[in-house]
Chains A and B, each alone.
Chain A
Amino acid sequence: MTTARIGLILGVGAMFLLGCASSPQRAALPRTGDPILDGWLAITNGPREDRVLWQYRTALEYLRRGESTQAATLFDETLAVLQGRFGKNAGARRSRSLFSRESVKPFIGEPYERAMAFYYRGLLYWEEGELDNARACFRSAQLEDSDSETKAFANDYVLLDYLDGLASFRLNGRGEDAFLRATDSARLVIPPPYESIGNVLFFTEYGQAPEKYAVGEFKEKLKFRDGGSTAIEMILRTKQQAIHLGAMDDLAFQSSTRGGRLMDHVLHNKAVFKRGANVVGDVAVVSGLILAQNRRTQDAGLGLAAFGLVSKIVSAATTPRADIRTWDNLPKFLGFGAIHLPPGEQQVSVEFLNDQREVLPEMTQSMTIQVNQPPRDTVVFVSQFQNNPSRL
């Protein structure tokens, strides 16, 4: 009789566990190797909670190919999500519950990723000649960096303040406040004064994106790893001049200086609960089975064992794992430079230098750009991840 009851309890537990088993993993989307096609496939057919992530990746790929209209359209969709993220969100609420992964929430990215979406849209507005909208994007990007745990690292993107001021300078001759903020935050290179800025603006990027990974007993702690970069400097060459461009911002630095998230506390609590429920379950099952061997304490023992089993089941179902979905085609370094060039066709080449100040020939790019008639600026986007710089 005792053995039968114990068997019943274990059997019920096993059936419950079987029932709890999560639904089968969604089949992986086929990959073609073309980032644009793969991006669209994921946007249209992939999990809804990953949609913004794929829009980020695909928009950036369009930008690197010089297809600015498509890039702007996709970035606009992501910015609409970012600006309307207030209030109730079923996915976000679910991600805070004990039994759901953090990654069930719709992805909008960590602050450095959100800032980059605004930054790239700002470049596209600049090229369209809408400097005040570009400036609006740079201001919103900087705001994304304002909720760091220690305020010492809040709003400290050099390039965003610098471009905010440059847009104001171009529009009405003023931009001193933003320029001062930019120079105060500068850690890598000191940005040049606005008066010296030419009509052809080069927005540069190189190095690998920061990586997210999870540590802790249940992978509940989100960490960032520097993606690294072979290149640390660039040289921009035209027929008349050559200028060195260093990085103004480092996304690895930005990703790692935010400090703790509120969500980290939620995940920590989930981990504590998971660990506690498991220990309680172990103790209760073992104690219950021992008590169940004695006829006088059999009922109490079986009850305790059942409670222990339920506790272990609850522990097993608790998922404190941190969300490590990453906008992985971002760069590490962001830079900016400008030169004066006459309107019309101009030849430009870009060389990347390593930490020994040696040219990396395999990364050298050259292009012919069409310089706009003044007063409109010409915007050139230079990325390590494209074959040639692109006039946006």
Chain B
Amino acid sequence: MKNQLSIFGLALLLGCASPGIRNPSGVPVTEMNADERGFVTGTGIESQDLVAVTDQMARSILSTPEIKAFGQVPRVALDPVVNETRFPINQDIFLTRIRTQLNRQARGQVRFLARERLATLETERQQKRNGAFTSSSDPHRQEFKGADFFLTGKLQGLTTRTEAGVSDYVLYNFQLIDARTTEILWEDAAEIKKQGLEDAAYR
């Protein structure tokens, strides 16, 4: 009788066994470096690509002879990157990081113009001209600098999808263009290819 009761109990327990919950207490926030490949990834443009590409471009720009040999400190304006890939991106983020890297690593070798703040700067200048704000120099003098170079770029992509998965190739191309002559003084590119395959449940 005891044996029979034990068997009943065991059967009930086995039946009740649930598959269990993974990470029942959740997963704490994991801090990662921006150039690190995380555990949440796709085939698109990600932070590690941004860091790798912009680091390469910043180094490449600084070693350009035209920049080194420019008579005075060259003034550079940013022209938004053209995105021809299938991934929506923040168009400013690549140039922002290149600018930051250049300003950090080569302070004084190149100067960037804050064209995206032009509206605010013009208002400030107008207020000084009107006498509403004080000014440390003659506000009527034209001191807004023109650009010697434009830094811009283009992202182009190639996508393949087969039963074996999705493959995305992205070409990151950047140029420094002479504003006076339209000559491309510097150009460099980086390529990144990624492949992925989703779970069969989604195919």
Q: Interface of A with B (CB < 8 Å)? A: 8, 11-13, 15-21, 23, 79, 83-90, 92-96, 102, 105, 108, 121, 125, 130, 132-133, 135-137, 139-140, 143, 146-147, 171, 261-263, 266
Verify if B159 is at the interface (C-beta below 8 Å from A).
Answer: yes
- Other-chain contact of B198, A79, A85, A96 (Cβ < 8 Å): A85
* A135 contacts across to B, CB distance below 8 A: 83-84
Are the CB atoms of A15 and B196 closer together than 8 Å? no
- Other-chain contact of A85, B19, B83, B159, B202 (Cβ < 8 Å): B202
Are the CB atoms of B88 and A12 closer together than 8 Å? no
Are the CB atoms of A19 and B161 closer together than 8 Å? no
* B101 contacts across to A, CB distance below 8 A: none
Are the CB atoms of A12 and B11 closer together than 8 Å? yes
Are the CB atoms of B83 and A133 closer together than 8 Å? yes
Q: A86-B43, A125-B88 are contacts. A93–B15 as well, Cβ < 8 Å?
A: no
In the complex, what distance in Å separates the CA atom of A8 from the CA atom of B198?
A: 47
Q: How many Å from the CB of A211 to the closest CB on chain B?
A: 21
Are the CB atoms of A89 and B199 closer together than 8 Å? yes
Are the CB atoms of A84 and B42 closer together than 8 Å? yes
* 28 A/B residue pairs, CB under 8 Å, sorted by A: A8-B7, A12-B8, A15-B11, A15-B12, A15-B15, A19-B11, A19-B14, A83-B87, A84-B41, A86-B165, A86-B197, A92-B199, A92-B201, A94-B19, A105-B201, A121-B88, A132-B82, A132-B83, A133-B83, A133-B88, A136-B85, A139-B85, A139-B86, A147-B203, A171-B82, A263-B201, A263-B202, A266-B200
Q: How many Å from the CB of A290 to the closest CB on chain B?
A: 24
Are the CB atoms of A136 and B83 closer together than 8 Å? yes
Interface string of B4-31 (1 = CB under 8 A from A): 1001100111111111001000000000
Q: How many Å from the CB of B146 to the closest CB on chain A?
A: 24
Are the CB atoms of B12 and A19 closer together than 8 Å? yes
In the complex, what distance in Å separates the CA atom of A224 from the CA atom of B159?
A: 29
Are the CB atoms of B7 and A262 closer together than 8 Å? no
Are the CB atoms of B22 and A15 closer together than 8 Å? no
Most chain B beta-carbon neighbours within 10 Å: one of A12, A121, A125: A12
Q: Interface of B with A (CB < 8 Å)? A: 4, 7-8, 11-19, 22, 40-44, 82-89, 91, 159, 161, 163, 165-166, 196-203
Are the CB atoms of A11 and B201 closer together than 8 Å? no
In the complex, what distance in Å separates the CA atom of A136 from the CA atom of B87?
A: 5
Closest to A8 in B: B4
Q: How many Å from the CB of A264 to the closest CB on chain B?
A: 10
Most chain A beta-carbon neighbours within 10 Å: one of B4, B40, B42, B166: B42
* B15 contacts across to A, CB distance below 8 A: 15-21
In the complex, what distance in Å separates the CA atom of A202 from the CA atom of B81?
A: 28
* B85 contacts across to A, CB distance below 8 A: 136, 139
In the complex, what distance in Å separates the CA atom of A21 from the CA atom of B12?
A: 11
Are the CB atoms of A87 and B196 closer together than 8 Å? yes
In the complex, what distance in Å separates the CA atom of A12 from the CA atom of B13?
A: 11
Q: How many Å from the CB of A140 to the closest CB on chain B?
A: 5
Q: A13-B11, A85-B202, A132-B83 are in contact. List 4 more A-B contacts (CB 8 A).
A: A83-B43, A89-B199, A130-B91, A147-B161
In the complex, what distance in Å separates the CA atom of A7 from the CA atom of B168?
A: 63
* A102 contacts across to B, CB distance below 8 A: 201
- Other-chain contact of A136, B4, B86, B198 (Cβ < 8 Å): B86
Most chain A beta-carbon neighbours within 10 Å: one of B15, B159, B166, B196: B15
In the complex, what distance in Å separates the CA atom of A263 from the CA atom of B15?
A: 28
Q: A132-B83, A146-B161 are contacts. A85–B42 as well, Cβ < 8 Å?
A: yes
